[in-house]
Amino acid sequence: MEDFTITTRLTSKEYAKVMLIGLYKKPGIILTTIFGLYCVVTVMLNNFNIIKFYTDVPYFEIFFGLFLLFAPTLIVIISVRQFLSNKSFQNDIRYTFGENGISVQGLTFKSEFLWVHIIKQKEINNFLILYHTKKLGNFIDKSKLTLDQLQFIKSKVTQK
């Protein structure tokens, strides 16, 4: 396929949405949230005298349950603050896809990645995330790609 280029700008709102959806797809986060919900619901049911679990006010269960419920939100807030701290990510980023790899160019940086260095791909919402380390990847806006271009990118990434 002939080389093609797209230009995107990721907003903090889109980034937060993708992060939150990505977190809630993880089994550990789902189980943690269910356990936090269990703690909060049992405290509420005990408070309304529907069940009798606690003899005293269960402060630990209240705070621990709320912490578990809001932990993904806290993670996203920290991630968005880190995203906003790097001004390079708030400008247009140009991605050029070719047979050998990807070229990523922003206002103050330029990177090139061979396809063999893309270790994983993940689709979340309207984005295709191409990971080149365990926790770092590029957010590609799928709405700016044709179906053939999207299939080309997916075919080049070998899952490891």
Please give the Cα distance from 75 to 65 (Å, whole number): 16
Q: What is the pTM of this model?
A: 0.84
Q: Determine the pLDDT at residue 160.
A: 55
Q: Determine the pLDDT at residue 129.
A: 95
pLDDT at 17 over 80: yes
Q: For residue 112, which of 148, 86, 138, 149 has the smallest C-alpha distance?
A: 138
**Tens of pLDDT, residues 85-137:** 988 888 999 999 999 999 999 988 999 999 999 999 999 999 999 999 988 89
User: Hunting for tokens 């995330």 — which residue is that?
Assistant: 129
| Domain limits, CATH 2.30.29, in the chain | 4-10+88-156
**Tens of pLDDT, residues 25-84:** 999 999 999 999 999 999 999 999 899 988 899 999 999 999 999 999 999 999 999 999
Paired with 113 in beta bridges are: 102
**Domain 4-10+88-156 in CATH 2.60.40:** no
| DSSP track, the chain | ---EEEEE---HHHHHHHHHHHHTTSHHHHHHHHHHHHHHHHHHHHHTTSS---SS--HHHHHHHHHHHHHHHHHHHHHHHHHHH-GGGGS-EEEEE-SSEEEEE-SS-EEEEEGGG--EEEEETTEEEEESSSS-EEEEEGGGS-HHHHHHHHHHPPP-
